[in-house]
Structure 1
Amino acid sequence: MFGISDIPKFLLAFFLVLPVISILHEAGHVFFAWLMGAKNIRLIVGSGKPVFKKGLLEVRKFYFWYGFCSFENIKRKEKLANILIFSGGAIFNLLSTIAVILLVENKVLEAGMVTYQFTYFSMYYIFFALLPMLYPGGYPSDGKIMLDLIKGKDEVIKERTYRVLWKPEEEEWQVLDQNKAVIAGHQGEDDALEEARKIAKKHRPSRILYCKDGEEKEIQNYPRIPL
């Protein structure tokens, strides 16, 4: 039964141990994304307004609640690359758990409440990350994405394609959706590109093609982001 004496243990887990585990989990995702050539990598800890930014790390006001990562323009998009990215969080949690266990067994670390909570909640993270299910809101777990990819359901990483091109007849830059229907028109090229980025980023996984002189070139891609 939960008693008064357990409150300090709860606070320790909630405000210290869980955020560390969350950071390690997201670090695993971004590590493999980086290996696949991703750019603009961000690792966000918590929710609310940002209170600290350093390099790719961003800590928000409620640092103990939630965490996620973001990246763009991966160079390797094949099935195995995506499986590694989505499994990265669980891999880092597992490796850190094994490391703590070995350090305790070799008496480098003293067994105590922190080491117990760290290993316990790390396994909790691993289990629910790899469990193939849909979270509330319909977003798939890392495990479900991986299972779908293993089963050959590549549509989970199939990109929507948006195009930016100049239409001399209308004398404007146009943004086209994946069906090549016009979404928006702009007088300036930069405005059209910015519009395309906003739309593509909102509808991951996606990519942007720049069309000129009959040729198409990918200038941006926004992969599906793991949790």
Structure 2
Amino acid sequence: MFGINDIPKFFLAFFLVLPIISFVHEAGHVFFAWLMGGKNIKVTVGSGGVLFRVGMLELRKYYFWYGLCTFDNLKRNERFSNILIFSGGAIFNSLAALIIIYLIENKTLEPGIITYQFTYFSLYYVFFALLPMPYPDGNQSDGKVILDLLRNKEQVKTYRVQWSGEKSQWCVLDHDRNLVQAFDDEEQAVTKAHEVAQQNRPSRLVNSKSGKETEVGNYPKVPL
């Protein structure tokens, strides 16, 4: 039963142990994203206003709540690559818990409230990360994305930058080839297309020159 003496343990878990577990989880996504050639990798720990940024790490005001990893332009943008990336968080959490258990079993590490909470909540993270479910904000759990990838149900949208001889302009087209916006300058059109594609992950951006389509960027879904 939860008693008054357990309140300090609750705060220890909430404000110290869980943020560390969240960081380990995001590190798993980052490792596999880097391994698969991802660029512009960024890790966000927490929510609310930004406290500080160091390299790829961004720490937010409510550091104990939420976390995500973003990256662009996978060189190996296939189903298996994405499955590995979305499994990375659960893999790292599982490995971290197993390492702690191994160290305790070999008496290298003394068991205590922190080691107990770390292993318990690491497995808690693994369970809810892999539970295939959609979230109310439109995001999906890692498990739901993995399941869709295995079923080949993930719908990747393709956005295009294409020269229109009729308009004498560079046109940004959506997945259904409907006009988003037209520009006189190609660079402006590409910039706008990147912006639209990034906001509608998972997506690809291709540039159509002389009837040939060349991928200039891709934006995978965001692992949580």
- TM-score, normalised via structure 1 length: 0.93
Secondary structure of the equivalent of 2:182?
strand
**Tell me, which stretches of 5 or more residues in structure 1 are unaligned?**
none
Task: Describe the superposition over 1:182-213 as per-residue Cα deviations: whole angstroms up to 9, x where unpaired.
Answer: 11012222221121111111111101111222
Q: AA paired with 2:81?
A: A
Match of 1:155 in 2: 153
The match for 1:186 is 183
Counterparts of 1:192 and 1:23, CA distance in 2: 37
Deviation at 1:135, TM superposition (A): 2.6
* Alignment coverage as a number of residue pairs: 224
1:26-105 alignment, distance < 5 Å? 26-105=26-105
Deviation at 1:75, TM superposition (A): 1.4
Within 1, Cα distance between the matches of 2:47 and 2:133? Answer: 23
* Aligned-partner SS, 1:107: coil
SS at match of 1:155: coil
Q: 1:194, 1:10 → 2: CA distance?
A: 47
> Residues of 2 paired with 1:23 and 1:188: CA distance?
42
Aligned counterparts of 2:59 and 2:91: Cα–Cα separation in 1: 23
Counting aligned pairs with the same residue, the percent is 58
Of the three residues 153, 167, 170, the one matched with 2:167 is: 170
Q: Does 1:109 align with 2:86?
A: no
Q: What's the CA shift for 1:138?
A: 4.5
Cα distance between partner residues in 1 of 2:193 and 2:12: 45
Q: Distance in 1 between matches of 2:172 and 2:9?
A: 54
Instruction: After superposing the two structures, state which structure 1 stretch, 200-209 or 173-182, moved more.
Output: 173-182
1:8-56 Cα deviation digits (max 9, x unpaired): 1111111110000001111111211111111000011001121121111
SS state at 1:68 partner: strand
Quick one: distance in 2 between partners of 1:86 and 1:121?
19
Runs of 4+ in structure 1 displaced over 3 angstroms? none
More deviation in 198-207 or 90-99? Answer: 198-207
Instruction: Tell me how large the CA RMSD over aligned residues is.
Output: 1.4
Report the more deviating stretch, 108-117 or 167-176: 167-176
Matched residues in 1 for 2:211 and 2:72: separation? 26
TM-score, normalisation: structure 2: 0.94
Q: SS where residue 136 of structure 1 aligns?
A: coil
